């Protein structure tokens, strides 16, 4: 099995990720040599800081895949996007479907937390995405100020109960996003609330790959088997099977998802932190 990275700013010249194709290819080659052979490309969408045209993402992804193939780099890409925290109300179901992954009935999108902290508006935005028929992978919750100390995790509880899962950043676990993010990332991994780890790589400025997170995850208290779930089995499950609704029967090999949902159920109303 190989590593699968579901949060990556690899598309060149579109946001704050790879500035050009040469930088994207150099990063992709490092990913492949680190055993990352499948990834979604997730430019910021709905952000006031980047003018990303959603309708162009598939063609841009196909262009980059052709460049990877020409360079003989063993990395398969899927088009995606990272939904800006305040953009949920602006994105139609058609927009969301362009950047969604998984089979019909279990499609999901990646939604970015507000760095200033999880607020009620973000929770409402997640509910709006869910109401349009999409599951949600919540990107780097540990980077939201006050996740463990100011009720941020409690405000995510309704989304988690409705089937959303959490994606922790490799760079947070590695301590590159500051001590609060690292502490929260470690707690999310240890408590099994984290369902996947992704790189959130920004070639040119944040050049780490998903593989570099694994020793940090072990240091956080994860077992070797859990690390395989977080970087290989669970992200692969999301691409193949999507994110089934909480009331839908789970397919075989959904052990990681069951554990994440069990951990979310153990969050009590008003919880400020998490176990572990
Ligand atoms: Fe990102």
In the reported structure, the alpha carbon of residue 224 is separated from the centroid of ligand 1 by a whole-number distance in angstroms of 26
Residue for token digits 């463990």? 148
Looking at the structure of the chain, the number of domains it has is 1
Compute, in angstroms, the gap from residue 8 CA to the centroid of ligand 1.
6
Q: What's the mean pLDDT when you consider all of the chain?
A: 93
Among 10-24, 68-82, 125-139, 237-251, which stretch is predicted with the lowest mean pLDDT? 237-251
Q: What one-character DSSP code corresponds to residue 175?
A: T
Q: Is residue 104 part of a domain?
A: yes
pLDDT digits (tens, 9 = 90+) for 38-58: 999 999 999 999 999 999 999
Q: Range of 98's domain?
A: 3-265
CA distance 160 to 259: 12
Q: How far is the CA of 249 from the centre of ligand 1 (A)?
A: 31
Mind listing the pLDDT tens digit for each residue in 201-218?
999 999 899 999 999 999
Say yes or no to pLDDT of 82 above 90: yes
Residue 271 included in any domain? no
- 276, part of any domain: no
What mean pLDDT comes out for the span 239-260? 90
Q: In whole angstroms, what is the distance from residue 51 CA to residue 39 CA?
A: 23
Q: Is residue 273 part of a domain?
A: no
Residue 208 lies inside a defined structural domain of this protein: yes
User: Separation of 276 CA from ligand 1 center, angstroms?
Assistant: 26
Give residue-wise pLDDT tens across range 156-189: 999 999 999 999 999 999 999 999 999 999 999 9
Between 150 and 40, whose confidence is greater?
40
The whole-angstrom separation of Cα 106 and Cα 3 is 22
Cβ atoms within 10 A of the Cβ of 131, count? 10
Q: Is residue 28 part of a domain?
A: yes
- Gap from CA of 201 to ligand 1 centroid (Å): 7
**H or E segment to which residue 168 belongs:** strand 165-169
Alpha carbon distance 53, 174 (integer Å)? 32
C-alpha 272 to ligand 1 mean position (Å)? 25
Residue 150 CA, ligand 1 centroid: distance in Å? 23
Tell me, in angstroms, the distance from the centre of ligand 1 to residue 205's CA.
Answer: 12
Q: Give the distance (Å) from ligand 1 centre to CA of residue 207.
A: 13
pLDDT-derived band at 272 (thresholds 50, 70, 90) equals: low
CATH number at residue 139: 3.20.20.140
């Amino acid at each position: 099995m190989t590593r699968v990275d579901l949060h990556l700013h690899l598309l060149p010249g579109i946001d704050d990720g790879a500035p050009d194709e040469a930088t994207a290819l150099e990063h992709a080659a490092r990913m492949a040599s680190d055993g990352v052979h499948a990834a979604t490309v997730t430019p910021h969408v709905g952000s006031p800081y980047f003018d990303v045209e959603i309708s162009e993402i598939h063609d841009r992804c196909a262009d980059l895949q052709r460049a990877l193939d020409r360079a003989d780099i063993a990395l398969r890409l899927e088009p995606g996007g990272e939904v800006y925290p305040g953009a949920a109300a602006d994105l139609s179901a058609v927009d969301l479907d362009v950047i969604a992954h998984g089979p019909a009935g279990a499609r999901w999108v990646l939604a970015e937390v507000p760095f200033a902290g999880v607020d009620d508006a973000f929770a409402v935005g997640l509910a709006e995405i869910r109401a349009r028929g999409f599951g949600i992978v919540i990107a780097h919750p540990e980077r939201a100020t006050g996740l463990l100390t100011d009720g941020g995790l409690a405000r995510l509880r309704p989304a988690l109960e409705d089937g959303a899962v959490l994606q922790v950043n490799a760079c947070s676990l590695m301590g590159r996003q500051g001590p609060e993010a690292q502490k929260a990332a470690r707690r999310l991994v240890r408590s099994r609330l984290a369902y996947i780890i992704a790189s959130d790589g920004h070639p040119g400025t944040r050049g780490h790959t998903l593989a570099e997170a694994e020793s940090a995850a072990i240091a956080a208290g994860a077992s070797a088997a859990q690390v395989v779930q977080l970087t290989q089995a669970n992200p692969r499950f999301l691409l193949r099977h999507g994110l089934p609704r909480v009331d839908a029967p789970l397919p075989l090999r959904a052990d990681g998802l069951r554990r994440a949902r069990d951990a979310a159920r153990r969050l009590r109303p008003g919880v400020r932190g998490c176990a572990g």
